Structure 1
Amino acid sequence: MTRMTSAAVHTAHPAFQPIAPGHVHRWGGARLVVARRAGLHRAPVLSPAEQGVLHALPGRRQAEWAAGRLLAKRLVCELVAAPAHDVEILPRDDGSPCVVVGGSPMPALHVSISHTAGHVAAALAPEPVGVDLCETASAEAVRRVADHVLSPGELSLVGTDRPDALAGAWALKEAAVKADRGSVFGAAPRSVAILGLRPPVLGGRRRAMVWQAGEAVLALVLAHRAGPA
């Protein structure tokens, strides 16, 4: 009888269900698309303002920025039936992306973008949304900073022996911080409590889902904003 290694078991039994690349998926009212960067050959239609943002970025970041806008614009165009040249994805003062259609900001549409070396994803929703990708190959880096991001209870829940679980925990934290329009650096990730990983459950008025996207883990978080009493 052949003895399977721990890594082989993890590969054979992934923690999260797979998500098909290139297709628009719907979950919880959000639209989501993920793709391999190597499969994106079409350049996005960029406005002069977007081109200004693009050219101000370091050269190594320009391709990933453009890939993210290509997917985000696809989601917006399909939802509002607008031509690509009328849709802009521009940064707010805090750096988070906002949707502009025909020169007018669309505050009722929330967008989030994520990219890694191999993948890119975008999400669009009528409520604050965050999407994040984390390559399973980055699990060792996550393990090194886990004490700063995950509480002792979360570390016990997630464990440190599964690369996909570590990647999923990191992606959940960062997606939630994005939905709150915060930064993953500092205390913000600690304010997001992971109560469950399979299926994902977060504290507060948040809904979450996690998928396996090739060699990456993809997390989507929707944050309900409390209205006036």
Structure 2
Amino acid sequence: MNSLALHHASSGLQAVVAWAAVPNAATCREAESRLSGAELGLMRRLHRPQDQHRFVAARLLLADLAARQTGATASAIHLGEVPGGPGRAKPRLSVPGWDASISHDAGMVAAAVSPAPVGVDIQMTSCADRVRRLSEVFTEAELHWLAGHRSREDACLRWTAKEAILKARGTGFWEDPRDARNDSLHARANGVELVSLCPTPGYVLSLALLAPQVPRRPHREPPHP
């Protein structure tokens, strides 16, 4: 497990994000024994085996990360769901006072925990061309930035930053991603600490941490890059 900490300048609170490669199919099947009955039910709603493997990997990464940060044992941490928009939910830790977020794309998963609202997103850079076509999710400032930054990593940086902010708010794309407070270029001015990195070649990850008093709303499905 690789990890990184992010501190919120005004509140002094911290978020920790971890990322890992999705294990092989046999390892994921063995790991299913650590899931709760509710989690197994959620996993079985996914029809493709690769989606089930990513689900298992992300859930267990989150449980292990939460155990390290809260002092509880991983087996004592149960993951529920916070209802969101249609067909969407946010992970809920069984440890009171802690927020959580997960993300996965292709062969990588990421998880984040914090006492404050937190969001994480990871994306393959091979999706960059599709990201650049999603002009309806970026502010004018972000579009201008993208026009001057042409690498695949640049495009996925702006996309994952946007997703992480909206996940941290608990709204997803139910909230207008073009609203000024969701501009990833001016995150700190809106009470959001934001960090982006390339955790492994071919991927970009962003982590967003909000001040605790920021309101949260229902979540909806994002446009897919």
* TM-score normalised over the length of structure 1: 0.78
Matching of residues 111-150 of structure 1 within 5 Å: 111-145=100-134, 147-150=135-138
Structure 1 residue aligned with 2:43: 54
Q: Report the Cα offset of residue 135 of structure 1.
A: 1.1
The yes-or-no answer on 1:88 pairing with 2:69 is: no
Contact 1:194 1:203 in 2 (8 A): no
Pairing 1:204–2:190 present: yes
- Correspondence for 1:213: 199
Task: Please report the TM-score for the alignment, with normalisation by the length of structure 2.
Answer: 0.79
Q: Which has the higher contact order (CA 8 A, sep 6+)?
A: 2
From 94, 114, 118, the equivalent of 1:100 is 94
Q: Distance in 1 between matches of 2:205 and 2:41?
A: 29
Aligned residues: 196
Provide the C-alpha distance between the structure 1 equivalents of 2:185 and 2:74, rounded to a whole number of angstroms: 40
RMSD of aligned Cα (Å): 2.2
5+ residue gaps in structure 2?
A: 8-13, 215-225
Structure 1: runs of 5 or more not aligned: 1-21
| Alpha-carbon shift at residue 74 of structure 1 (Å) | 0.5
- 1:87–1:136 distance in 2 versus 1, CA, 3 Å: same
**Which residue identity is paired with 1:188?**
D
CA distance in 2, matches of 1:75, 1:151: 33
Q: Which has the larger radius of gyration?
A: 1
Give the ranges of 4+ consecutive aligned residues of structure 1 lying more than 6 Å apart after TM superposition: none
Query: What residue in structure 1 maps to residue 21 of structure 2?
Result: 36
Q: Distance in 2 between the 1:64 and 1:213 partners? A: 17
Specify the code of the residue in structure 2 equivalent to 1:122: A
| Residue type of the alignment partner of 1:217 | V
**1: distance between equivalents of 2:159 and 2:206?**
9
Give the C-alpha shift of residue 226 in structure 1: 2.8
Q: Deviation per CA, 1:97-136: give whole Å up to 9, x if none.
A: 10015xxxx2x10110000002100001110000001111
